[in-house]
């Protein structure tokens, strides 16, 4: 990659004003670099020295903070969309793993709804509605985020702050659903550990634990990006 010191400094200033590492940020910075080098070439063709051409290119591109500010909405919406798409894509597999774990543990085969099982864990009546509500909130927020950050922006105004907030809600919702399931699992383990099929339950727990960690981190990142938007 061509390196021009003055341009590296300029890009460093833009980068410093765009917090957080992401592929979208790298992509934006790479595009700015190639544009700046094009500008340098254009000014050199017009007869400027290498240094004067680099300075002219930088002046032409504008204040680095202003450029960074202009990119922030795009980066926030890209991050929000990525989080929402990941949650929508990973939700069904995690749900299927828990369904498989429940079926393997013969829980689903009983004739009563889950909260009326004989020997039901004490937390079940509270954990099921919490998990259900959290999942509904996640699905709704994730779908709203996806809708608001895609081609609908052709007609709708761009609302990066709202998109970052709904994506964060979806992330925290997924984490809350996982927590409710963990509470239920812990309750079942203390109440009747023998009823659980170890391997399917371990697989579902690992999947949920991973999602819990990543969803919470992603949600926090969305909130951090949202805080940089004015």
Partner 1 sequence: MRAETLKGHLDGLLLASLETGPRHGYAIMEALRTGSGGQFDLPTGTIYPALRRLERAGLIRGTWSEGGGRSRRVYDLTPAGRRMLAAERGTWREFSAAVTALLEPAPQPVTP
Where does this chain bind partner 1 (CB under 8 A)?
2, 14, 28, 30-32, 34-35, 37-39, 42, 60-64, 66-67, 70-71, 73-74, 77, 149-151, 153-154, 158
Distance from C-alpha of 147 to C-alpha of 54, rounded to nearest angstrom: 41
- Closest separation in Å from C-beta 30 to partner 1: 7
- Closest separation in Å from C-beta 163 to partner 1: 11
Closest CB to partner 1 among residues 39, 101: 39
- Closest separation in Å from C-beta 176 to partner 1: 29
Distance from C-alpha of 216 to C-alpha of 168, rounded to nearest angstrom: 8
Closest CB to partner 1 among residues 37, 100: 37
Alpha helices in the chain (DSSP H): 5-16, 23-45, 50-61, 64-104, 124-148, 160-191, 198-227
Closest CB to partner 1 among residues 154, 194: 154
C-beta atoms surrounding 45 within 10 Å: 9
Closest CB to partner 1 among residues 57, 102: 57
**Are 145 and 84 contacting, i.e. CB atoms less than 8 angstroms apart?**
yes
What is the CA angle 136-137-139, rounded to 5? 65
- 91 backbone dihedrals φ, ψ, rounded to 5°: -60, -55
Closest CB to partner 1 among residues 28, 207: 28
Distance from C-alpha of 74 to C-alpha of 78, rounded to nearest angstrom: 6
CA 98 from chain centre, in angstroms, equals 23
Closest CB to partner 1 among residues 151, 194: 151
- Closest separation in Å from C-beta 94 to partner 1: 28
What is the CA angle 67-70-37, rounded to 5? 35
Distance from C-alpha of 53 to C-alpha of 38, rounded to nearest angstrom: 10
């Amino acid at each position: 990659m061509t390196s021009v010191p003055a341009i590296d400094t300029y890009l460093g200033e833009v980068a410093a004003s765009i917090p957080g590492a992401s592929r979208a940020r790298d992509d934006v910075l790479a595009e700015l670099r190639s544009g700046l080098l094009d500008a340098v070439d254009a000014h050199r063709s017009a007869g400027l020295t290498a240094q004067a051409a680099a300075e002219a290119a930088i002046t032409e591109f504008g204040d680095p903070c202003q450029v960074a500010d202009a990119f922030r909405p795009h980066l926030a919406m890209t991050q929000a969309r990525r989080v929402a798409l990941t949650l929508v894509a990973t939700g069904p597999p995690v749900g299927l793993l828990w369904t498989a774990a429940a079926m393997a543990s013969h829980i689903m085969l009983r004739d009563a709804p889950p909260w009326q099982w004989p020997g039901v864990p004490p937390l079940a009546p509270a954990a099921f509605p919490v998990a259900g509500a959290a999942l509904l909130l996640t699905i709704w927020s994730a779908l709203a985020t996806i809708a608001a950050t895609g081609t609908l922006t052709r007609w709708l105004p761009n609302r990066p702050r709202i998109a970052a907030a709904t994506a964060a809600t979806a992330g925290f919702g997924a984490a809350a659903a996982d927590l409710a399931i963990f509470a239920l699992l812990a309750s079942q383990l203390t109440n009747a550990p023998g009823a659980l099929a170890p391997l399917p339950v371990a697989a579902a727990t690992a999947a949920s634990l991973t999602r819990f960690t990543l969803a919470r981190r992603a949600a926090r990142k969305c909130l951090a990006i949202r805080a940089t938007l004015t």
